[in-house]
């Protein structure tokens, strides 16, 4: 079953059916009708991708720490915990699927930023399991991009103006005053 909604193309103005949850061809888009979206997509194919998301090896966490993070999330008694499911490999010889753990966790060096951490292993090979981190990768520089966020968070809020505007109510949040 698929759902669709009637949308007006933000470029050419025609009405079309957009399918938010179902596949309905390669040019299904919330903003553009299939004709316009085809044009957009074909034009963009000529523009090289410079930075893309890539899984890179990391020592930030171990498999056990990812598992503990997941267990911790599950410990409120809920059986159904939101999990990101990653397609695993299939071992044809042993006829087993790869196990996988994928958790959104803070970067130990910059705890205000979180990344997806992934660990995949074949049953019985837990000791060989390597953890990877999903980062924005600069193709040309062949290294992690300087910017690891999707949207520039801007400078830290200039909280020193807050007490002037809002009295003392928020002064306990005033952690970025000059000299700090
Ligand atoms: Zn259109």
Percentages (nearest 5) of helix, strand, coil residues in the chain: 20, 25, 55
Q: Is the pLDDT of residue 80 over 90?
A: no
Q: Give Cβ neighbours of residue 180 (< 8 Å, ≥ 6 apart).
A: none
Portion of the chain with pLDDT greater than 70, in percent: 77
Report the alpha-carbon distance of residue 156 to residue 160 in Å, rounded.
11
Compute the distance from residue 16 Cα to the ligand 1 centre, in Å: 8
Q: Does residue 77 carry a pLDDT above 70? A: no
151 Cα: distance to centroid of ligand 1 (angstroms): 27
- Whether 53 has a pLDDT exceeding 60, the answer reads yes
CA of 123 to the centre of ligand 1 (A): 50
DSSP 110-178: STTSEEEEEEEE-TT-GGG-EEEEEEEEETTTTEE-S---SS---SPP-GGGHHHHHTTTTGGG--S-T
20 C-alpha to ligand 1 centroid (Å): 17
Distance from residue 43's CA to the centre of ligand 1 (Å): 15
Cα-to-centroid distance, 39 and ligand 1 (Å)? 9
pLDDT at 168: 45
Q: From the CA of 14, how far away is ligand 1's center (Å)? A: 6
For residue 50, how far is its CA from the centre of ligand 1 (angstroms)? 28
Ligand 1 centroid to 61 CA: how many Å? 46
Q: Domain locations in the chain?
A: 5-44, 51-142, 150-180
Mean pLDDT of 26-50: 94
pLDDT of residue 180: 36
pLDDT value of position 21: 72
For ligand 1, the distance from its centroid to the CA atom of residue 8, given in whole angstroms, is 8
Taking the centre of ligand 1 as the mean of its atom positions, its distance from the CA of residue 19, in whole angstroms, is 15
Tens of pLDDT, residues 87-98: 788 888 888 899
Contact 7, 18 (CB under 8 A): yes
* CA 139 – CA 25 distance, rounded (Å): 29
The two three-digit tokens of residue 52, written as one number: 């893309």
Q: How many angstroms separate the CA atoms of 82 and 44, rounded?
A: 34
Q: What CA–CA distance (Å, rounded) separates 165 from 146? A: 35
Compare 40 and 79 and report the one with higher pLDDT: 40
Contacts of 162 (CB under 8 A, 6+ apart): 170, 171, 173, 174
């Amino acid at each position: 079953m698929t759902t669709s909604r009637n949308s007006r193309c933000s470029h050419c103005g025609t009405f079309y059916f957009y399918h938010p949850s179902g596949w309905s061809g390669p040019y299904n888009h919330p903003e553009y009708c299939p004709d316009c979206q085809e044009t957009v997509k074909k034009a963009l194919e000529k523009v090289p991708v410079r930075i893309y998301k890539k899984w890179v090896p990391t020592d930030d966490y171990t498999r056990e720490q990812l598992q503990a993070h997941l267990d911790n999330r599950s410990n409120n008694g809920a059986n159904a915990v939101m999990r990101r499911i990653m397609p695993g490999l299939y071992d044809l010889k042993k006829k087993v699927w790869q196990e996988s753990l994928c958790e959104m966790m803070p970067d130990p060096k910059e705890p205000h930023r979180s990344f997806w951490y992934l660990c995949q292993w074949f049953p019985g090979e837990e000791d060989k399991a390597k953890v990877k981190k999903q980062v924005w990768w600069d193709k040309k520089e062949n290294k992690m991009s300087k910017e690891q966020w999707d949207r520039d968070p801007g400078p830290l809020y200039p909280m020193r103006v807050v007490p002037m505007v809002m009295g003392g109510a928020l002064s306990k949040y005033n952690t970025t005053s000059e000299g700090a």
